[in-house]
Amino acid sequence: NAGVTQTPKFQVLKTGQSMTLQCAQDMNHEYMSWYRQDPGMGLRLIHYSVGAGITDQGEVPNGYNVSRSTTEDFPLRLLSAAPSQTSVYFCASRTGVGQPQHFGDGTRLSIL
Provide the phi-psi class of 61: left if phi over 0, else alpha when psi is between -120 and 50, else beta: alpha
Q: Which listed residue (24, 25, 33, 36) binds another protein by CB under 8 A? A: 33
Binding mask 47-86 for another protein (x = CB under 8 A): -x-x-----x-xx---------------------------
The CA distance from 77 to 56, in Å, is 14
Closer residue to another protein (CB): 14 or 100 = 100
Return the DSSP state at 85: G
Closer residue to another protein (CB): 18 or 57 = 57
Binding footprint of another protein on the chain (CB under 8 A): 31, 33, 35, 40-45, 48, 50, 56, 58-59, 90, 92, 94, 97-106
